[in-house]
Chain A
Amino acid sequence: MELRIIAVIVVSIFFFLSILMSIFPIMNPMSGHDAIMKAMTPYFIVYPFLILILTMAVFFLFKSLDADTRKKAVFLYVAVAYLFTMLTLHISCFSIKIVSS
């Protein structure tokens, strides 16, 4: 396998582990986290498949475009994902403030 592909896979796995490992220190069985993890287990199982399906769908969609338009489309996809994440962060901060006040 090409070294570059291995690097891509390693970075992707580390990225996923990074997300899990920054959630796990919050875990506390006394505050219902066991129930949360039980409820989220199906999502954890399908998560890699969802990523694969979404990536393949977008990849084949963009493949039909010419090189210049594809470059813009990839940038637009990253920008939309970034905005979506920012929006989710703000909504979650807002939800926590509403609940705790």
Chain B
Amino acid sequence: MNPSFQAALVINIFLILGFLIAVVAYREDLGAKFSPMLAVAAALGLCLLPPTIASYSAANGQVYSFEDYSLQNFLPIFIGFLILFAIYIFDLIGGLDESNEFFILCLTSASLLSSVLVYTFLLFRIRHNGT
């Protein structure tokens, strides 16, 4: 495995761990002030994970990171759901805030429409390319 790819993966894993710690620490007295910021930073890190995997596999001459390319396309959407469920845990612990609720609805709508977008892309690809 490429060393810079390993470094990118390690950074992403640290961000994901930070995200999980932020979720757990949210209601603690010490963690309550910085954990939402940490969670946002980690959510951005999570969003960077699928493009990192895709770009490095493309740079290594391999077009798809996974055996089946639909998995590569759907990965960001599942990461969106991971963020959603984590925010939902925030809400279950801290009570449903209106801006959080709007964010949940916005991200759910985006995920719903993104899966339509990805499926449309796959159908077009089958039509133009054969597979």
Contacts and interface: CB of A to CB of B under 8 A. Distances in A.
Interface residues of A, number: 57
Nearest to B80: A15
Contact of A12 (B96, B106, B118): B106
Given A55-B105, A67-B96, A93-B70, A21 B54 contact: yes
Of the four ranges (under 10, 10 to 19, 20 to 34, 35 or more), the interface on chain B belongs to: 35 or more
B44 A14 contact: yes
Interface stretch (B3-11, B25-33, B121-129): B121-129
A48 B80 CA distance: 16
Interface centre among A15, A77, A91 (most CB of B within 10 A): A15
A96 B79 CA distance: 23
B124 A36 contact: yes
B6 to A, nearest CB: 19
A96 B63 contact: no
A21 to B, nearest CB: 4
B2 interface: no
A21 B118 contact: no
A36 B128 contact: yes
B60 to A, nearest CB: 11
Contacts of B63: 25-26, 28
Contacts of A54: 109, 112-113
26 contacts: A2-B99, A10-B44, A12-B107, A19-B118, A21-B54, A22-B51, A25-B51, A25-B58, A26-B63, A26-B64, A26-B72, A47-B117, A51-B109, A51-B113, A54-B112, A77-B105, A78-B85, A81-B112, A82-B81, A84-B115, A85-B77, A88-B119, A89-B74, A92-B74, A96-B126, A99-B126
Interface of B: 36, 40, 43-44, 47-51, 53-55, 57-58, 63-64, 68-81, 83-85, 88, 91, 96, 99, 101-126, 128-131
Given A18-B47, A91-B119, A92-B118, 5 more contacts: A18-B79, A47-B113, A55-B105, A58-B109, A81-B111
